[in-house]
Each structure stands twice: as structure tokens, then as C-alpha cells.
Amino acid sequence: MKRHFNIRVNGIVQGVGFRPFIYRLALENNIKGYVLNDTEGVTIEAEGEEKELEKFIKAIRENFPPLAIVQEIKIEEKEVNNFKSFWIEKSRKTEKKITFIPPDTNICKDCLKEFFDPQNRRYHYPFIVCTHCGPRFSIVKDIPYDRHNTSMAEFPMCEDCKKEYEDPLDRRFHTQPTACPVCGPKLFLYKNDKTLISENINEIVEKVYQYLKEGHIVAIKGVGGYHLACDATKDEPVLKLRERKRRPFKPFALMAGSIEKVEEFLYLSPKEKEILLSKERPILILKEKKSIISKYVAPYLSYIGIMLPYTPFQYLLFSLDRDLILVMTSGNLSEEPICFKDNEAFERLSHIADYFVTYNREIIAHSDDSVMFVIKEKPFFIRRSKGFVPAPILLKKTFPVHLFASGGDLKNSFAIAKDKVVILSQYLGDLESPITQRVYQSTVEHFLKVFDVNPEVYISDMHPHYFTTAITDKLAGGKPRIKVQHHHAHIVAVMAEYEIEEPVIGVSFDGTGFGTDHKIWGSEFLIADRKEFKRMGHFSYFMLPGGEKAIKEVWRIGLSLLYQAELSIDYLPFKEGKPLNIILQMLEKKLNCPFACSIGRIFDGVSALLGICETISTEAEAAQKLEEKALKTEKFHKIELEIEERENQIIVSTEDLIRKIIELKEKKIPIPEIALSFHWAIIEASFKVVERIKEKSGIKKVILNGGAFQNRILLKGLWEKLEKAGFEVFLPQKTPLNDGGIALGQIIIGRENLSF
């Protein structure tokens, strides 16, 4: 019996070959009707015999294209129309815009094969692309995802490309960025004074390789912005890049041409190999096993970030030399957003790069490379950006209104929500500089337009001095405003990911978060649900002399910790030339000395007390160097910390921790052993606090989140200890451990606290 179904498919179903997939499926199953893109997703009118329709719908559910994410399929039966064939109808606009845009991905195997085939018309064409790969998010101006709504609009297709584009059985059918050397974007090589050197791809790649081997720095326009590249095996260019980029410590990311090359000098587990080779192509943090790169790539550290090529030009460059290893770091000045507009790149990077490789297609949405690491074969985000954004986080519960959450001021990513989805923005960086703040505002505008979100409720952190708090006030313009406690947002972000509804024990460790007592939190033990939380415990408070200044000059925190523990300042290694008496007077009088209890600041202070770090040039530098010392040994000394209950709160004594660290130092215990002992003291005390909370509450679900858990020893140690004791431990895997994920938590808490 013939039947007619209207089938609506929602999710990431545009720009991923969904219509040609449906077309081929219809031909295979003798289905008549049509398929089209609209601003809600994909609509299919399908007529056929009952059995064929069943097979057709089953295949849509189970065998969709690799880049697609099917969120929902709605089927409605209609009267038989007696369609004579199956075709692809023109896209149309509907009342709603709920379609999603696929992330940018690595070039696929089929395109790569054509790229290196001298007989193919796209041989060495650096913008080769098909339905299954290449730029998407970075080139989209609006939806529906059609060529005229992308930055490819100014490149009319030649006859050959048009023929492929219009053939439903071709791999490039309706591939919006499709192009060839005749009709598509072109590559250019310039000197940093904008003198054009070449427009020939083979000449460009050979010259760039030569410049890099000679020790020059080359700015290369990628998918989401510019990279700064230099030879990673030589000290001179790496040091030159550090000096010009004003980045004395923060590690550089690398790119190698093959997984085999990576395995030569870095340890790789099966999961790490899988992630490196994935279509998302993130930077992955791996342990060094053989020293073949400059020690200045990641000074003082044994873990190195690396990625594999993902653009045609990168593949071509590495094809010239299988042993090539390049620094491939974001094209920016330290802590500024990545440059993605050509004029801005020449303006901001010409004093860093000697040469520029660029192209004449506009990047609409910028994105840095995503950064991940693996513990116990589970992946964790440090930065969620290219390859993953703007893939939506799909939820069971519908949002009654459109929401906007501004995230935090560090490692920023904002979020928008409607229907049953949350869309997190790409990593935007630290919102200290006016440039980053401008990029933040323009990115918010772009997301609201493209995803057709008109927020009715605006949510931010409760910190009164955050840029995000102020901009959310401005954006709200009198609409409902909700402010969310920072560490509560960390915990609820993970609850959202796992759809946890009941209360959990939340352990949120980081550097800074504004507390309800107006002090700086960051060692939080909470009982939390999606709406509210109760603070159950924390490490005891200490002062930050000079406030923000102490975060940069970590020796001040070391001095404060000694003062708090009533120990002699002689235990501070960094005394020469320091205004110690002034700082002590500030501490005595509590002048410009905000109280803090954050794990991040405790790490900073102990790093100073052990003579590891005096001042920092980038966030978490002192903590990273302390962790690195601890990784040098497996021997540690058990430290049992005083834990007491005061006013219904469990307090771990920071003073006792410092006294016991100094005792080990007095006994001439090697610094790596003290560093590891410190880590285990935090782990053991945290475990005991969680056990006490369980005894009081009966809760066995524990969430660990916050930037301090990027520390491998801390994360693995506490995670394993809790699991061994029978706790069910949940960790973020869709959002970063740091502040890059709190916007998701803010959105969920905001929804639960809606007053209408």
C-alpha cells in the first residue's frame, strides 16, 4: 500500500551531505517526492510502498552522513500526492531558525587523494573540499547554509564545478565551499611589508619551507585564523618567536606531518592516537619520550601540545619533509584573540612574522585550535574551539524562553539556549584587553543572528567586577537578569552533560571565583542541584597582599601563607629586593589584602615557598612548574592535614599544610618529593572531606570540575581514590575543566531559577 510521509529532520543536517544522502536513499528504495533545506532543518516529502518507506526511515535514523548530528525526526502522514520522481527542492525560509552549523573539519581521505593526484583538476589546489570535510562554521554568515550566505558568495562556480554541484550522485553535490583553481579562492605569499612574492601554490610552499628551515617566522592563514610557524627543532627561531610574541613561558603547540613522526618523540596511548587522527584535529598534550625539539618549545615542562595537519596547504608543506616539526601557535600577541582578518593580521603580526601566507576568502567566525589531554583513556578539554564549535549540547528538557549566559572573564566561552539545545561559543580567551572585549561583543552578535536567538533572560557570574557581568547588564537592557555563583556553575555544567537531576557532591577547585561571602573562593565542597547549592567545606582562608598583584607576583602569596601559619619569613626563598616590611604591614592591618581560599592560589604560594617560581608571565605558570617538579619522582611523604568543623562547615587547615611543607623542607627532603607530597596532601584531605559530606547526606555521586583539575596528579589521584571507595565520579567531557565550560552551568541554573 502506498503512503505519504512528511519527515522533518532537525540537528546538524546542513552542509554535511544530508540532501544527497536522502536523494540516493530515495532512489535505492523507490521513494518519490522531494527533499529541501529550510531554516529549521531538512524537510522530506516521501511517498512509497510501506516496506520501502520503513527501510528509508530506518536508514535516515541509523546511516546518516559522518558530519551530521540528528537531534530529532518528526514524521507526519499526509494524503498521497502521486509524485512521479524524487528531486531536491530549493531551500526556503520558515518562521523559525533552528538549524545548526557543522564545525570545521580536517580534509577527508577522498579530497586528499585528489589533492596529490597530478591528473586531477584540483591537484595541489589548497581549497579542495567536499560534502564530508573542510570549512563550515568559519565561513557562514547566516542560514540556511547556502553558498550566498557564506564567504564563498563572491566566487561564482565555473561550469565544471557547477556540474558537480548540481549532480545529486556527485560527492560535491551542494557542497557550498566547492571550488577549483579556475573559479575559487587563491593563495598569496607576502613579505611582512605587504610586498607580494608569489601567487603560485608550488612556489609558495617551496619558499615557505625554505624560509622556515632558514629560521624565519611565517604567519599562515588557516581555517579559523592565522598561525605563527617556525622550525621547532632549532632554539634560535623558537626563542625569537617567544621574544616577539612576548610569551616567555607559555608552551607552544607543535604540528608534525604524521602519526609516525609524533610517535618518534612523544608517548601515545590508543585513545590519544584516535584523538590526534580524528576529523576535529585538536592539539593534544602528550608526554615527551625523546628530545628532538628545542627545549624552549615548552620550557621546564615534559608535556607538549601537538596536532596533525588538517588543511590542504599544511599537508602539502609537510609532504616536502617527513621529519619536519613546526611550532604552530595562534597568530596573536600573548593573551589577545587570534588574528583572522587580513588587514588586522598585517597590522598586529608584521613585527612578529617575517612572511605571510594568506588567501582571498574571508573568515567570518574565528576559532583557535582546540586543546585536549587524556587521563585513564578519557579525553578532557582545555580549550573547546575549532572542530567542536558550534556543535550543540542536546538536552532532554525544553527551555521555555531563549537564554544568554556570558561565561567567565578567563578562558571565556559564552552560551545561548533555546528549545532543547545549548550552543557554546568558541574559546574567546581572557577578557582583559579591549581587543578581546570587542571580539567578544561581535561574536555574541554573530551567534544571536545565525542561530536566531532573541534572549529573554540574561545570566552572568556574580562577580561584581567581571567584564562579563557588566556586558550582560548592558545586553539585558532591563530584561530579567540572573547572577550565578562561579563554582555552582562549574558543578551544574557537568550535571547538564550527564542529565543528572538529583543533588550531588561537587568539588570545584580553581584559581578565582567570587563567593557569597564576598571572598575569593576556589577550594569548594558543595552539595548542589541544578537550582541552588550549599557550601559544605573549603580550605581555610589566607590573604592576597596587593590583590591582583599577588596573582602575578606569587612570592607575595608565599609570604602571606608563612604569615598565616605564624612561620618566619626566612623560609621565603625570594627575599632580595622585596618590600617585605611593607607587605607584612599590609597583612597586619589587612590593607588591600582580600581573603582567598582557592587551590590555585595555594599552588602558587607553595611553588614560591619551594623556590620554584617567583613571578608568573601567564596564568597557572607557578602551578604547572610545581606539578612538573612532582612528576620527577614517585616518592612522597604522607601529610595528614587538620580538618575541623566550624559553623556547619568542614575546614581543611591551609596553615597546617604550610607548616608541614616547611617541616619537609627543613628536613632537606628533595624538592620533587615535597612537591608530590603537597599534591597528595590535597588529594587525601579532599577525599576525607567528601567522605564526611557523604556521611551527612548519603550522596554518592561526586562531580570534579574547575581549572585546578587540569593538573594530572590531582585529577587522577582524587578520581581513583573516590572510585575505589565506591563513589560514582562524573567529570566534564563535552566542556573544558576550566572556565570555558561555566556558561553551560549558568544556562541551566538560570533556567531553574526563572520566575515566570
Q: Which residues are catalytic?
A: 19, 37
User: Do residues 607 and 625 make contact, with C-beta atoms less than 8 angstroms apart?
Assistant: yes
Lookup: cell for 716? 587522577
CA distance 28 to 728: 47
Lookup: cell for 438? 570587542
> What Cα–Cα distance (Å) separates residue 354 from each residue in 194, 236, 331, 351?
10, 14, 13, 8
Reference 450, options 71, 42, 144, 72; nearest CA is 144
Q: Read out DSSP for 580-604?
A: HHHHHHHHHHT-S--EE--HHHHHH
Length of the chain in residues, anyone?
Answer: 756
State whether residue 191 is helix, strand or coil.
Answer: strand
Q: Read out DSSP for 113-157?
A: HHHT-TTSTTTT-TT---TTSB-SGGGB-SSS--GGGBTTTTSPP
User: Do residues 385 and 224 make contact, with C-beta atoms less than 8 angstroms apart?
Assistant: yes
CA distance 349 to 356: 9
Radius of gyration, CA atoms only, the chain: 27
User: Do residues 608 and 622 make contact, with C-beta atoms less than 8 angstroms apart?
Assistant: yes
Q: Read out DSSP for 381-446?
A: EEE--BTTTT--EEEEEEEEEEEEE---SSSB--EEEEEEEEEEPPP-B-TTSHHHHHHHHHHHHH
The residues, any chain, with a CB within 8 Å of residue 7's CB and separated by 6 or more, are 43, 44, 45, 46, 57, 60, 73, 74, 75
